[in-house]
Copies of this chain bind each other. A is one copy, B any other.
Amino acid sequence: MTETIINRRDLSFLLYELLNVERFTSHPRYADHSRETFDAALETAYKVAYDHFLPHCRKNDLEEPQFDGERVHIIPEVKEALRQYIDTGLMVAGKDYELGGMQLPATVAQSCTAVVKGANTSTFSYAGLTVAASNLLLAYGTEAQKERYAYPMLEGRFFGTMALTEPQAGSSLSDIKTTAVPEDDGTYRLTGNKIFISGGDHELSENIVHLVLGRVKGAPAGVKGISLFIVPKYLVNDDGSLGERNDVALAGLIHKMGWRGTTSTMLNFGEKDGAKAYLIGEPGKGLKYMFHMMNEARIGVGMGAVVLGYAGYLQALEYAKGRRQGRPVDSKDPAQKPVPLIEHADIKRMLLAQKAYVEGGLSLCMFAASLVDEKRTTSDEAAASEADLLLDVMTPMVKAWPSQYCLEANNLAIQVHGGYGYTREYQVEQLYRDNRLNPIHEGTNGIQGLDLLGRKVMMQNGAGFDLLVARIKASIEEGQANSTVQPYAAQLAAALAKAIDTTQVLRQTLHGGQAAKALANATIYLDLMGQLVVAWLWLQQALAAERGLRSGETQDEAFYRGKLAACQYFFHYELPKVYQHADLLTSLDTTCLEAEEAWF
């Protein structure tokens, strides 16, 4: 079978050699687990991915869901794959035993998710959204709400959505208009229009649980007036059986550039007499609750971008190995057989770039997941809040970096295929189209830049940023002691110093009351920090590869050499961008800020 899903050896390397996830099994929560149980879960993930998700990935794109005015029609393979996936128990792999879960560490559970998602992002999305929605209810719902909506989602009987965006508001959630009027029985009647709601309608599950942002009538303007509601497609009776259809109507499907297998919907709530809605937690705290789900969703976006980039990379690699074309630049004898594409330096450059992006992005997302486990498994309160803070500061990078660079990996995968890559006979064009969503949804990358520089780096007087710096410094110190890795450690130290200086300048500007000026190039700052952090992870990967090489397992030598080559690529071709960015940022460049509308 063609290997198009994350390289299994790579995943093991990251889990066991880079992140040492076995350390978590010393904690009571994970006491039943071991490398064997982790590997068994991964085995299951690969099996269901290859057997049920990968085969219809292309069909999902070519035969996108159709709405006939009454029902949404989706190719049957989608429902079947999701059933199979739910049956494996992997959808709730990280959940508590009493919730039917496997209590796997988040890092391992995320790896399993990545494998399945990597086989078919569109089909997986229905499950991903359901997990996210159920997590929110588990965190903030009442026991009755959990019973009625969360548990059926965990069982895979109900699916979930996040209904945030409105046609007029887009990224600006403070402007949403959906309104909920309280009823005497404590429920609400909700009316409003939502757009871009993924999984907003289908017949893949018994019911759909919409988590809807809206305002209780009379609530203040802005984010403080936003509350969160449960609005099920079908009302749920006290005994858990389904009641009548709620007042939620599908106004239409949105036709997307890619990611076509997941319905993207316009939903009208309460066109008749208001949709029955149930408040979650307290009024006015909707955005806070939603952001609990959003941060998780943002890590999911990063991982989603990685797996699409990874699939393209593996396809480009296979093509470059199999396709013979041209001859070496210094030996062009036409009587000689053409060489495989992979022998050309520029093809190797494009493959190394893809490898550096997708394996770098994967290590970033998995590191983020390991912070969740760090937090859960430490008994030290300070260490727990440290892990939490670090994850918070890294989230914008985890969302944005892969969504930019793994998209670029897809672009390069097309280029390696030449003319064939531009045709629909090969899948790389679809992967590019699918991945193009990731820099947009769950907060555009522009918004991630503002979040990183305007909030995350500033919060608690820079404590999160300082934590990140301390961790990077520790790796640099380790790297200094290894002769192969030492040059990268030195480069990273220099880049880190630049990043610290830059952050200091921007922080002073912000504190000096010049927010517009400080934030004018926040997206550039996000890229600078992303490059720095991924370089740091590549340094760690190189150190782990060096350990592997020293262990003398010769069958893995090529694998470890590949890690060192990708690390070298990243430090030679990518990291130097940091200096250009730092120059621009420390000069507080106002070219864009001061550009006037009439000049365009």
Contacts and interface: CB of A to CB of B under 8 A. Distances in A.
Contact of A591 (B352, B414, B418, B422): B352
Contact of A523 (B349, B424, B425, B584): B349
B256 A345 contact: no
A236 interface: no
A347 B321 CA distance: 41
A258 B221 CA distance: 44
Nearest to A599: B562
Interface in A427-467: 429, 432-433, 436-437, 439-441, 444-446, 449-450, 454
A225 B268 CA distance: 67
Contacts of A421: 440
Given A172-B326, A223-B334, A580-B580, A596 B257 contact: no
How many copies of the chain does the oligomer comprise? 2
A85 B561 CA distance: 58
A256 to B, nearest CB: 6
Contacts of A419: 165, 170, 195-196, 440-441
Contacts of A446: 344, 346-347, 350, 415
A341 to B, nearest CB: 9
Interface stretch (A122-130, A284-292, A512-520): A512-520
A326 B441 CA distance: 16
A599 B589 CA distance: 42
Nearest to A321: B597
A521 B349 contact: yes
Given A591-B569, A600-B562, A516 B414 contact: no
Nearest to A258: B422
Contacts of A576: 580, 583-584
A83 interface: no
A429 B584 contact: no
A250 interface: no
A55 interface: no
Interface in A561-597: 561-562, 565, 568-569, 572-573, 576-577, 579-580, 583-584, 589, 591-593, 595-597
- The size class of the interface chain A forms with chain B is 35 or more
Given A562-B599, A569-B592, A436 B422 contact: yes
A592 B352 contact: yes
A187 interface: no
A342 B415 contact: no
A56 interface: no
Contacts of A415: 439-440, 444-446
Contacts of A579: 580
Contact of A414 (B436, B569, B596): B436
Nearest to A260: B424
Contacts of A535: none
B592 A348 contact: yes
A217 B421 CA distance: 32
A99 interface: no
Question: Which residue, of A328, A329, A348, A600, has the highest number of chain B Cβ atoms within 10 A?
Answer: A600
A263 to B, nearest CB: 13
A338 B175 contact: yes
A171 B600 contact: no
A474 interface: no
A422 B257 contact: yes
Nearest to A570: B591
Question: Which residue, of A165, A264, A418, A561, has the highest number of chain B Cβ atoms within 10 A?
Answer: A418
A522 interface: yes
A596 B558 contact: yes
Nearest to A341: B170
Question: Which residue, of A335, A577, A597, has the highest number of chain B Cβ atoms within 10 A?
Answer: A597
A500 interface: no
A21 B257 CA distance: 41
A72 interface: no
A425 B255 CA distance: 7
A176 to B, nearest CB: 11
Nearest to A326: B172
A598 interface: yes
Given A172-B338, A223-B334, A565-B591, 4 more contacts: A172-B325, A222-B332, A351-B600, A573-B591
20 contacts: A172-B327, A174-B332, A195-B419, A222-B332, A222-B334, A255-B424, A256-B424, A264-B423, A344-B446, A345-B593, A348-B595, A352-B591, A415-B444, A419-B440, A422-B437, A562-B598, A562-B599, A562-B600, A576-B580, A580-B580
The list of the 3 closest CB pairs from A to B, nearest first, reads A222-B334, A562-B599, A558-B598
